[in-house]
Amino acid sequence: MLLLTCPACGVAADETELAPGGEAHLTRVGPDGDDASFEGYLFQRANPRGVHFERWRHVYGCGKWFHAARDTATLEVFGTYSAQTTAPPDDILDKIKARRPGWEGNA
């Protein structure tokens, strides 16, 4: 069972309390975007086997969205962080690099 600590309310919630929201930090494309960037934003996903940044919602708790950094190959959780950011914070990146020395970020 996946356990994530909701950064909004501090509760350590197990996954039955949470709803997954897919890949995080996608750049939203507006009306001026071309077809290719719109396709990328709407459909194409990194889907890595390894470090994954993703959105979750604490549905059966405080109801807030948040972010998590997790390894999809081992289910290790590196940490959770606020939804109010467009990139993973440094302390999360440091934790990942400490655990995955060769990791260079998701292309």
Partner 1 sequence: MKRYSAFAIAREALRHHEGWERAWRSPEPKARYDVVIVGAGGHGLATAYWLGKNHGITNIAVIEKGWLGGGNTGRNTTIIRSNYLQDPSAAIYEKSRSLYETMSQDLNYNVMFSPRGVMMLAQTQHEVRGYRRTAHANALQGVATEFISPQRVKELCPIMNIDGPRYPVLGALWQPRGGTARHDAVAWGYARACSDMGMDIIQKCEVTGIRREGGKVTAVETTKGEIGCGKLGIVVAGHSGELAEMAGFRLPIESVSLQALVSEPIKPCMDVVVMANTVHGYMSQSDKGEMVIGGGADGFNNYTQRGSFHHIEETVRALVETFPMISRLKMLRQWGGIVDMTGDRSPILSKTPVEGVFVNCGWGTGGFKAIPGSGWAMAELMAKGHAPLADAFSLDRFREGRFIDESVAAGVAH
List contacts with partner 1 (CB under 8 A): 1-2, 15-16, 19-20, 22-23, 35-36, 38-40, 42-49, 52, 54, 70, 72-75, 107
2 contributes a contact to Zn ion by CB under 5 A: no
d(CA 42, CA 101): 31
Q: What is the CA radius of gyration of the chain?
A: 15
- At closest approach, how far in Å is the CB of 16 from partner 1? 5
Stretch touching Zn ion by CB under 5 A, among 3-11, 26-34, 39-47, 77-85 = 3-11
d(CA 12, CA 10): 6
Buried b (16+ CB within 10 A) or exposed e, 75-92: eeebbbbebeeeebeeeb
Quick one: which of 29, 62, 77, 83 contacts Zn ion (CB under 5 A)?
A: 62
- At closest approach, how far in Å is the CB of 94 from partner 1? 23
40 contributes a contact to Zn ion by CB under 5 A: no
Q: β-strands 3-5, 12-14: how paired?
A: antiparallel
Residues near Zn ion, by CB under 5 A: 6, 8-9, 58, 61-62
